[in-house]
Amino acid sequence: MNNKKEKGLVIVVGGPGSSGSSTIAKMLAEHFNLERVYAGGIFREFVKDLGYENLDDFYNREKKEKFFELDRKVDEFLIRRATAGNVLIESKVFGGLSSKENIPCTVKIWLESSLYVRVKRLAGKQENLKGLRKIWFYIVNSFNLVRRRIKDGQRYKELYGVEYGKQELYNDIVLDSSELNAKETFDLILERIKDGGYIK
């Protein structure tokens, strides 16, 4: 995808929950000296303003119409920000949305990881997670991640016609990071960006 020099770089990074996309997005934003705009953070602020304790609480209790309303608000902001340029956008759907809306991006990257690795990464952020508590954590969070991915896919399909399970249709680089650490993932992405000629 061609880089619009007059507006600088527009890099898009996406991935399911705990895939490592946030870590890589931060590293890329720092490397290329770009503002990182995190769609999930904006969405969570809207959810908090509605009085929900957390995102899972919102997922469990709210109707899909409210999801759609918040999604559109977030994505409208992302479109405006991408148009201005010099930005890294971290979003699960913007890769697909930008393709559907013909929004020029320098490079779009999607990170995958197995469910087990994603839950393991979540567990690694917890303290004193042992025994039955650890088992329960794995069960609950496996369920939450699967449910969230299904609901996200349904929403993005209905909202924008984006096929959530076919990220290769929308992204320039699709990478499974299940067996890679953050540095290995970052280095491989930089290599693919260079080899693909996305950034000179």
**Among the listed ranges 8-17, 133-142, 189-198, which one has the minimum average pLDDT value?**
133-142
Give the pLDDT confidence of 19-38 residue by residue, as tens digits: 999 999 999 999 999 999 99
Please write the tens of the pLDDT for every residue from 120-140. Answer: 988 888 878 888 888 898 899
Contacts 24+ apart (CB under 8 A), 72-75: 72/159, 73/46, 74/39, 74/42, 74/43, 74/46, 75/39
| The predicted structure's pLDDT at residue 2 | 42
3 has a pLDDT exceeding 50: no
Q: With a threshold of 0.85, does the pTM exceed it?
A: yes
CATH 3.40.50.300 fits 5-196, yes or no: yes
Domain boundaries, the chain: 5-196
